[in-house]
């Protein structure tokens, strides 16, 4: 016997998996025609997949919750039974549970375990709670579609998600958190703030950047390019397609084919939409003879790539089919690896902090099952990454087997304002591509040597990073990122000429300004601009004209000023330049 508590990872899993079992019991009581698939615990709760001809409704979910409460109240014990494999198959065949039969048939052990409570039996390894009334607080959250075994060739099932906590206070806190997540949903804010859209006519997973979103993207890209030039990177631009042979040579066709699109035929030659930028950067490196004195060579590109994602996993800006990577590749000597990794870590944290991300989790991902290169190369690369992290004093976890096929990597997951983790930054050492593409440089000894290649992305995908930014700030962007930084509002039509003069001053100073001369009440104009989360409003009336000033209102409702236009331009410029 081992005592575990809800506070442990295993405790949460047992608690929530037991709740999933109770939900399956309730569904079978209410809807006997539903067939059971699987019902695991997940990070923040649990789900169960059901095969039922009629879709579950919100009213059904309420009925299931009420029946679960009745099952919990009965306080029946969970009882584990071990059956011979054939005996279990016969049991679940008799129950009409085809998915359970399939699961048992795939088990190679002689026996399997089932768990029973109050006459309901389910195939399960366990363990479970001792009794049903140990579940004190739960909530069913949503319904979604899910293919059996995650394969779109299989039947679509209905998945009911739920969560469970040790007490009602913890459950309420989590439900409040989910409400805040809904408010910050980048898809919702993207519509409200007119930032981006996805059109069925264009295609799923393909982003249309609207003017407001596009101006934010421009600001991000300008900052990115300026900082890379300062850091001695060379900016590149490369095509969106290339001959299929290129991806065969790089190894992507062998190791990454499921994420690539079907080739296109151009004059009898197979071409492919690029899933990666690295082979293009390699080609530029190889366009001239290189000397050891030139290294390191640092190439950077905001390169758009295309990857096949199944429709079921597409999610706003966070999971798309076409996206722009802030990609870079460093070609260096082996004795330069450590210094380059240290520089990249500094650069990464500088970029992330500038965008408001101060906390993060760091992972060192090691050799996967499918890999290229020698074990010696992998060990050298992994040790170089580990040493750089330790020199920087960064706490990290080992993520076994999660490296890419060509080398180990460092992944940095940023924490947003709701303390959620997002994968953005990655640093990868590659001993493979320099070999495959026969890359070289002339060393101090006059002989040819092989460079080391470092792949690196700071923000990752611009689309994904922008989605995270929207949710991090809840759409209330800092001044330097706001698509409109100030709106000039008139109280009456007679104030239009002076307001236009002020508006032009802002524009000429590089401030992203707009003007509202509509014949509407000032209260309406203020509300409309506040809903759009514009940082500052410049209000113009008789008093402002008489004093040749503006009254400034912040988006939080605080009135500041008055200021002359020049005074406030100086204040805004300083704030925008500070990027706070």
- Could you give the residue numbers annotated as active site? 278, 307, 325, 327, 329, 409, 455
Sorted by sequence, the CB contacts under 8 Å of residue 419 that are 6+ apart come out as none
- The tokens describing 73, both together, are 């109240």
Strand ranges in 43-85 using DSSP code E only, listed in sequence order: 45-51, 79-84
- Short-list 52, 44, 56, CA closest to 19: 44
Sorted by sequence, the CB contacts under 8 Å of residue 315 that are 6+ apart come out as none
- Short-list 227, 14, 314, CA closest to 135: 14
- Short-list 480, 498, 485, 494, CA closest to 550: 498
- Short-list 231, 249, 369, 396, CA closest to 299: 231
Whether residue 242 contacts residue 280, with contact meaning beta carbons closer than 8 Å, is answered with yes
Element (H, E) at 110: none
Query: What is the distance between the alpha carbons of residues 572 and 537, in angstroms, rounded to a whole number?
Result: 12
Whether residue 236 contacts residue 301, with contact meaning beta carbons closer than 8 Å, is answered with yes
Residue whose structure tokens are 């100073």: 509
Strand ranges in 282-381 using DSSP code E only, listed in sequence order: 297-306, 322-332, 360-365
Element (H, E) at 556: none
CA distances from residue 80 to 46, 121, 140, 536 in whole angstroms, order as listed? 21, 10, 26, 64
């Amino acid at each position: 016997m081992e005592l575990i508590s809800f506070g442990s990872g295993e405790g949460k899993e047992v608690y929530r998996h037991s709740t999933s079992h109770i939900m399956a019991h309730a569904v079978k009581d209410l809807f006997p025609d539903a067939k059971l698939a699987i019902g695991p615990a997940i990070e923040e709760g649990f789900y169960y997949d059901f095969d039922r001809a009629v879709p579950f409704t919100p009213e059904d979910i309420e009925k299931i919750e009420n029946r679960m409460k009745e099952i919990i109240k009965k306080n029946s014990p969970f009882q584990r039974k071990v059956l011979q494999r054939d005996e279990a198959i016969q049991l679940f065949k008799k129950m009409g549970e085809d998915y359970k039969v399939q699961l048992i048939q795939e088990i190679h052990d002689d026996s399997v375990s089932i768990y029973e409570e109050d006459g309901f039996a389910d195939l399960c390894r366990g363990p479970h709670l001792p009794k049903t009334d140990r579940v004190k607080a739960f909530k069913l959250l949503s319904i979604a579609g899910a293919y059996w075994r995650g394969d779109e060739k299989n039947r679509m099932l209905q998945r009911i998600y739920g969560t469970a906590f040790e007490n009602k206070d913890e459950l309420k806190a989590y439900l409040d958190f989910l409400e805040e997540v809904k408010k910050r949903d980048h898809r919702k804010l993207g519509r409200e703030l007119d930032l981006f859209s996805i059109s069925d006519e264009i295609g799923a997973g393909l982003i249309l950047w609207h003017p407001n979103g596009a101006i934010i993207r421009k600001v991000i890209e300008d900052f990115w390019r300026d900082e890379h030039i300062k850091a001695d990177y060379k900016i590149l631009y490369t095509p969106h397609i290339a001959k299929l042979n290129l991806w065969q040579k790089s190894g992507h066709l062998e190791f990454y084919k499921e994420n690539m699109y079907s080739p296109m035929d151009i004059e009898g030659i197979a071409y492919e939409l690029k899933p990666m930028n690295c082979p293009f950067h390699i080609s530029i490196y190889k366009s001239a003879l290189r000397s050891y004195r030139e290294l390191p060579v640092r190439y950077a590109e905001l390169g758009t790539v295309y990857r096949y994602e199944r429709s079921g996993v597409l999610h706003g800006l966070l999971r798309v089919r076409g996206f722009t990577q802030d990609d870079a590749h460093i070609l260096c000597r082996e004795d330069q690896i450590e210094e380059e990794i240290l520089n990249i870590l500094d650069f990464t944290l500088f970029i992330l902090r500038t965008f408001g991300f101060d906390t993060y989790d760091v992972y060192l991902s090691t050799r996967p099952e499918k890999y290229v290169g020698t074990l010696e190369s992998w060990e050298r690369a992994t040790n170089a990454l580990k040493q750089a992290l330790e020199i920087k004093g960064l706490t990290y976890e080992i993520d076994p087997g999660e490296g890419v096929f060509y080398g180990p990597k460092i992944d940095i997951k940023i924490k947003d304002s709701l303390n959620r983790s997002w994968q953005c930054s990655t640093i990868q050492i590659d001993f493979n591509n320099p070999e495959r593409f026969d890359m070289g440089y002339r060393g101090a000894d006059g002989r040819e040597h092989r460079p080391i290649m470092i792949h690196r992305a700071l923000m990752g995908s611009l689309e994904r990073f922008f989605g995270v930014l929207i949710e991090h700030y809840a759409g209330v962007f800092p001044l330097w990122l706001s698509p409109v930084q100030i709106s000039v509002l008139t109280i009456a039509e007679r104030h239009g000429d002076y307001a236009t003069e002020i508006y032009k001053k802002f524009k000429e100073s590089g401030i992203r300004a707009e003007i509202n001369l509509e014949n509407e009440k000032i209260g309406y104009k203020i509300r409309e601009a506040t809903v759009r989360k514009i940082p500052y409003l410049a209000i113009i009336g008789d008093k402002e004209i008489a004093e040749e000033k503006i009254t400034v209102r912040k988006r939080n409702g605080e009135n500041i000023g008055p200021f002359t236009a020049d005074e406030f331009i100086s204040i805004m410029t300083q704030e925008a330049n500070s990027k706070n």
